[in-house]
Every structure is written in structure tokens, then in C-alpha cells.
Amino acid sequence: MSAAEAGALLDVEHLRTYIGTPAGTVHAVDDVSLRLRKGEAYGLVGESGSGKSMFARSILGLLPRTAARSGTAMFDGQDLLRLDGSALREIWGKRVGVVFQDPSRSLNPVVKVERQLTEGMRRHLGIGRTEATQRAVRLLGEVGVPDPERRLDNYPGQLSGGMRQRVMIAIALSCEPDLLIADEPTTALDVTIQRQILDLLGRIRRDRDMAMILISHDLGVIAGRTDRVGVMYAGRLVESGTTAEVFARPRHRYTEALLAATPSVTLPRHSRLKVIAGGLPDAHHPPAGCRFEARCPHRRDACADPGPELVTVPGVDHSHRCLFPVGTGDGRSDTDLVLEEVSDGR
């Protein structure tokens, strides 16, 4: 089935991004494939350094000069990996909006909010300053910025962290893109503001029927806010499927470990949080076999062999890269044991 037949807006196949450094070649993204449908919300989750943000930067072409890419990233019929800088600039902002995790670094501190909001609209939409300013006021109001007319005259440093992130969202939405990439959009915000920003993104996506890639290390951010999810580890997509299916029935041992390590209000007070022992493998020399093998309590000798390939669970939208997935062996996963401890009051 072709991407067009499947209604795909973004169809990424076998994306690899290698970056040359003085210490050697970094395998930042290694054979990642995913499909995003129009109007769909897709979550990318994993530890810091797992390749989530580098995946987004790879399809956008926001990479260092020493980077090399292979594979395809078809966006509405165009391969983003084959476009030059001029062609990409026509897509950035106009067709694809991006919200980065730190608005303090993304916004120009010496340029007023009005100019940063209107310059993209004037360039991509071909409208005049007056109309662009009127649209900017409406956008700021839409994203929950109080007294939007006055805020246009502010510099970013005069706004709170939450207000700066709302301005970033307004800029990303200013040209009504088909796809919004939100890369850790709530990292620098307190818990209350995080909830407001995430709810805002969800409402705007539904109202505009806009596709969204939501990148986060927090499974709680992804749950309930995305239709499908991909779990990344050491540059690879190790599990993917519908969010409900993957969270309810994880198959890869890394996904299981992430879920078991997530704090829960259902746990007894002062419960010791579970941790994933060890760290990510060296990105310069990734393992030939399962990249989670060294940290996996269920590893076996075969896990160090080249592979494993992506396996699809029959009858459901669910794939994983695990030779001995959750449910094999004694039939009980780490997540099952945590739930048993809760039910027993231990």
C-alpha cells in the first residue's frame, strides 16, 4: 500500500543519520521507519539521548555539516531528505511548525514578540504588516496569552516561561501548518503550566485537524494525548503501535522497564522507585545485537547476535524488536510484579 493510499502525511523509511565527530561516527538515528497520518498524534518516547530529537532534526534537515543521512522521508509527496535549503525553507513554518523545548533559546531576546510572530506570516502568506499584526493578536489569544495587544510590544525576557512557550506555539501555528513537531515542549515548565500547555496543544490539533509528533521522555505526557506511539532506544525504534495497545501490553523489555519506572499515585507511600540499571550504549560503537541487551534482566546469549528485526504482533497495530518479549519465560513481566506488589499492599 502506498503512502498516498494509506492517507499518510509523513512516511519515513529506513532513516539513518550518522554524524562525524573527532571521536568517531555517532549513530544518532539508525534504521527508523514510521508513518504519520493526517490529523494523527504520534508520540516519540525514550530516555534522553535515545535519538528522539535527532529524528525530528533529521527529517527537518537541522543537522551539523558533518551529518550524513540515508533512507527516505516523504512529506506529502516530497522527500525531505532530497530537498535543498531553499526548498526546505518553504516548508519550515509554512507546512511544518516546530515547538522546541526551551523557548528562552528559541526566541530572539532582542526582538519584540510582534516581529517574531509576524515575519513568518508576511513571508509565507504574502500578507501586509497590518493583517499580520491582527492575526498575531488572534493567535496569542488562541494560545491563552492575556492582553495580547500589549504582549506584542514585549521582549521575550519580559514574559514568564509559560508565556514564552505559548508565544513559541503561536509562532509555530502562525501559517497553519499541516504538521506540528513538539519537541519536549514542557520540559522547562512547572507541573501546572505543563498540563495547560499539553491540553492547549491537544485542543488546537483537534480543532485544526493537524498532525502532531509529540516528543517526550515522560510516558505520562504521551499517554492519553497521542493515537500512536514509538519507543526509541539508542537511535532505534524498538517498539511502536497504538498508544493504548503499547501501554497496556508492552512487548519490548525496554518499554516494560520504562513503565515500571514511572511513578504512580497508586503505589504505597514511600515506595522505592524502580530504576533501569546502567546507561545507554556508546553511540560511536553500538552493539550488533539488541541495544538494550546489556541492561536487560531477561537477556540471553542470542540477544547479542546481530538483529533482531522488527516483529509485528498478529492482528494488532503493534511491532517490536525483542527476541524474548514480555510474556515469555515465566509469563510474568516486571510490570506484572509491580501491580502484584500494589494489590498485596507491599
Query: What is the spatial distance between Cα 45 and Cα 30, in angstroms, rounded to a whole number?
Result: 16
Break the chain into its structural domains and give their ranges. 8-95+177-344
If you ran DSSP here, which 8-state letter would residue 319 be given?
E
Question: Sheet holding 96-99: strands in order across?
Answer: 96-99, 179-183, 211-216, 41-45, 228-233, 236-242, 318-320, 311-312
The residue written with cell numbers 518499554 in the block is 255
Q: Which CATH number fits domain 8-95+177-344: 3.40.470.10, 3.40.50.300, 3.40.50.720, 3.30.200.20?
A: 3.40.50.300
pLDDT level of residue 6 (50, 70, 90 thresholds): low
pLDDT level of residue 315 (50, 70, 90 thresholds): confident
Q: CA separation (Å) from 343 to 263, 268, 336?
A: 16, 10, 11
What does DSSP say about strands 211-216 and 41-45: parallel, antiparallel, or unpaired? parallel
Q: Are 155 and 113 in contact (CB under 8 A)?
A: yes
What is the rounded average pLDDT of the residues 28-50?
95
pLDDT digits (tens, 9 = 90+) for 209-267: 999 999 998 898 899 899 999 999 999 999 999 999 999 999 999 999 999 988 877 77
- Say yes or no to pLDDT of 345 above 90: no
**pLDDT, position 192:** 82
Task: Provide the CA 168 distance to its chain's centre, in angstroms.
Answer: 17
Q: Which residue has the higher pLDDT, 203 or 335?
A: 203
Q: Are 29 and 55 in contact (CB under 8 A)?
A: yes
pLDDT digits (tens, 9 = 90+) for 120-135: 999 999 999 999 999 9
Q: Are 209 and 261 in contact (CB under 8 A)?
A: no
Q: CA separation (Å) from 275 to 260, 262, 272?
A: 8, 9, 9
pLDDT digits (tens, 9 = 90+) for 143-187: 989 999 999 999 999 999 889 989 999 999 999 999 999 998 887
Closest CA to 36 of 245, 216, 215, 252: 215
